[in-house]
Each structure stands twice: as structure tokens, then as C-alpha cells.
Amino acid sequence: MEIKTGRNTLEDEKEDDQPLSPAARLFHAPEFNCNIVSVIGLKSKIDPDVIIRGSKQTFIRHPRFSSIMVSEGDNGQNQRWVRTNVVVEDHVIIPEIKPQNIENADAFLEDYVSDLMKIPLDTSRPLWELHLLDLKTSDAENVAVLKIHHSVGDGMSIMSLVLACMRKTSNPDELPSLPYQKRSSSGPALLPTGSRSDSRLLWLVKLLWTAVILGLNTVCDALEFLVTTLFVKDTDTPIKGDLRSKKSTQLRLVHRTVSFDDIKLIKNAMDMTVNDVVLGVTEAGLSRYLERRYGEENTKMKQKHLPKRIRLRSALLVNLRPTTGIQDLADMMAKGSKCRWGNWFGYVVFPFSIALRDDPLEHLERAHKTINRKKNSFGAMLTYIFCRIIVKSLGTKVAATIINRFVSNTTMTFSNMVGPVEEVSFYGHPITYFASSAYGHPHALTIHCQSYMNKMTITLIVDPTVISDPHRLCDDWEESLRNIKAAVYKRGSLRLWHYLKLLSDRVAWLLYKMAWLVYQML
């Protein structure tokens, strides 16, 4: 049946119907049907009227949050976004909770989010919901749960939009600010000193060498994507689920908050990025967890040990477009201006080396080396272009089958995102943490890292039939972070001891020379 839609009569909010992008169509395929879920911990009691009023002034002014998906043509091939009148009260859900009947509020929240992930969004309305829970947990006074279909936008777009609806707690008139990310220098700034002709020659040689390395890395990543799709499959470890044919509906979201200052300390000491550190810690944590799981499954063995040559890879999500500014999205919702939006990301296959190492810093060094090579490649861009071409030429079903096979042959999904550097408020409610992730893809484990102020929240979405103890995996992640921090301090102490020893040797030598001169004078 034809769906009747209403249009806003304001001239600055009119917009022509938009066709779904290839990525959005892919996210609606039965093999994926991906959604983004974000658990937001609040410091104060929720005032539903304030949040509803704020949503009317922000969320529904965004075209994707005030549009429904309409399918037309044979087999619904033609899909487009159509603006409609939005009743915010239908999207803001306030469940009746009786705290006196709840023994463990944290477990109740996990069960609530788990049940929420089982229920598909109503496609006759804009594809988002906001659940307000009057529930006091161990780390929040109340909780808000935001659920959005992935076709609405990628994680970076959605996060930027949510932050554009927030304000600094210290100054309610200012938008949140994200950490400053240093950009690489431009080409001419890399010219070495010396004569002008020599500088140009050296710069051309360096440019040629960089192009060669870039081309080789891109070819390697393209071949890796191809062979992974065709036949190369990860080792069947205790955390790998076989979800290609039938995805599990029994998903569970857990989170753990650690010190972001510890991660930055390691980053600065090792001269790496935050992404390098969290990847290295994740590799160490997975190694600890799998060592225990293999030990439990092989109780006849006297010692626990990992099998040799475990192939465990992650589908690493890479943002491919310049981040839409928070100010741009705030202006769009306030003034009706336009800005970039959509799903612009690609996949990179990131191999984790599963092993128990005497020096935990080896995990960081290996992750740093691997991700640097991945950065110096167009592999992620190729996967994005490939998906668009397949969707447009062969259709969504064929593209979904290919991508589903590629993702299924890896073990997990990993993503990392920066958050505000100071405390922010959600329509006047100060926030304690963000625990965000996505589900719908054929993985039994998804790990998402989100920084906020001086904290980092690690969010896991797991299939409990495969990983029945996700909190133990969080424990292993946190323990690995402590071990790596201790190793950094130890290495720093050894370096300091080395420098002190050199200094003491030099001082001893000088004292000896002075004593010898005095002896000669006497």
C-alpha cells in the first residue's frame, strides 16, 4: 500500500525525496539489517518533558530523522527517503520500572538492551528510538538508550549529530569540543635543506618511493580482501561464531570504563597513537582470554597453552570522509542549512597475533607496525568503491552475499572513536559515559572504544551462545592495560637507570682524572 507522508510547510525545511545510497540499501538487506545502539549514562534523574522538547528542536530537524523509507517498483528495488510529520512522543519510550523488584540494576540494564536488540525498528516511521530508563546503576543515576538504523548514517555521523544536540556542562551555550588531531605536513614542508636542485631531486625520489609503497600496500590489501572473500577463513576459536547462514538474536551488550589518562601515558611513552594502544591492548586481552578458554576446554592437559598459528582477524572500520563538524550539524538543525551526511566508510582486515608474550609491549609494537602499513594504503577506499559498484551493477542481494561472506570469514569487528574532552550535558542532563556499538553483522564479537573526558569506555556486543562470559573478557582487557602500563614504567626505569649509570661512569672518570692531577701536583 502507498504510504501517505506529510511535508513541513516551512520553506527552509523543504527537501526533495532522496534515494537510498548503496550503503544504506546494503544495511537494509536481510543478511545485515544493522543498527547502532548507544547506552548513555546520566548523572541526574531524567526529565522526559525536557528531553522530548529538546528532541523536537534538534533531532527531527535533521532530514534522516524525519524521513521514512519507501520501497517502490518490482521487489521494492527503488528505495528512497520521504519526509514525513514526526510525532516525537512515539519515538521517546519511557518504560515503567519498579526499582524495588530489581535485584541487580546493571544486569537489568543488560537484559533490557538485549531485548531491545531483538526488536526491529518500525519502518513505517523514522528509524530511531530513544528509551529513557529511570534506573540507577553502579555508574549512572539514570540511563538513556538510543537506537538508530545504520542506514540513517555511519557511526561518525551519528556521534557528531548526538554531540551537536549536547552542550558543555560548564557553559550551556557552547558545543562540545573534540581532541585536536594533528595533521601531517604538506609536501613542500618535507623538502630537505641544501641546494634547491638537490632538494627537488630528493623530494622527487621520496615522492616516487612513497607512491611505490602506497601502490604495493594497496595491491596487498586488495588481494587480502579477495582471498578472504573467496576461501581464507579464520581459525575456529572459542570466540568465532558461525553466523553466515543464520544470525543469532541473543545478543548482549556489556561495557567497562578505564582510565584514558593511562592510555595517553602509554601513547606518549611509546610515541604511538591512541588507536595503536587500544589495538595492542585488545590483542593482549584476547590472548589472555583465549588462553583461559583453551585451558578450560582441554582440562586433561597439565598446562594451559594456546594452539600455534591462530588466524584471528578483525574487520576494522575506517572513516573515509572528513568528519562532519559538530557546528555544521548544529547549524543544520537550528537554521536548516546543509552539510555532508551518509555512510562513507570502508573495511580493513587487521590481523591480531594471539600469543602470550614475556614483554607485553610487543603487542603494542606489532599493532603500531601493522596499522601504519594499513594507513599507507587505499585498501579501505577500494572496499567502499567495490561495494558501491556491486550494489549498482548487480543489486543489493548479490552485494550483501559477497560482503556477508567476507565478514563471516573474519572473527570480529573493531572500531574506535574520540569523544568530548570535557563533561557535556544531554538537554541539561550531565553525562557520565557513552557505551556505543553496532549489531546486525555476522560476528559473535564486536568491540568499540569511545573516549570521553579522562575515561575510555570499552563496549562489547557478543553472542552469548559463543561468548558466555563477556565480563571476563573485559577483565582481561583491563588487566592487559595494567600490565602494559607497568611494562612502560619498567622500560622507562631501565632507561633512566641506563642514563644514570652512564652519568655516574662519566662522573667517576672525571673524579679519577681530578685525583690524578692533584697527585701529580703534589
Catalytic residue among 91, 149, 150, 448: 150
328 to 434, 485, 488: CA distances (angstroms): 22, 38, 40
**3-state SS, one letter per residue, for 200-253:** HHHHHHHHHHHHHHHHHHHHHHHHHHHHHHHCCCCCCCCCCCCCCCCCCCCCEE
Strand partners, 69: 81
Instruction: Report the C-alpha gap between 226 and 216 in whole angstroms.
Output: 15
- To the query of whether residue 471 is one of the catalytic residues in this protein, the response is no
Please spell the DSSP secondary structure of 68-96, one letter per residue.
Answer: EEEEESGGG-EEEEEE----HHHHEE---
Instruction: Report the C-alpha gap between 257 and 53 in whole angstroms.
Output: 31
CA 169 vs. chain centroid, Å, equals 25
Phi-psi region of 18 (alpha: psi -120 to 50; beta: other; left: phi over 0): beta
**Beta strands 142-149 and 35-42, pairing class:** antiparallel
Supply the DSSP symbol for 8.
-
Q: For residue 173, how many other CB atoms are within 10 A of its CB?
A: 6
Note whether 284 and 479 are within 8 A (CB). no
Instruction: Report the C-alpha gap between 492 and 486 in whole angstroms.
Output: 10
Helix (H) or strand (E) holding 366: helix 361-375
What is the rounded end-to-end Cα distance, in angstroms, of the chain?
A: 113
Q: Degrees (nearest 5) of the Cα angle 150, 1, 393? A: 50
Looking at the annotation, which residues are catalytic?
150
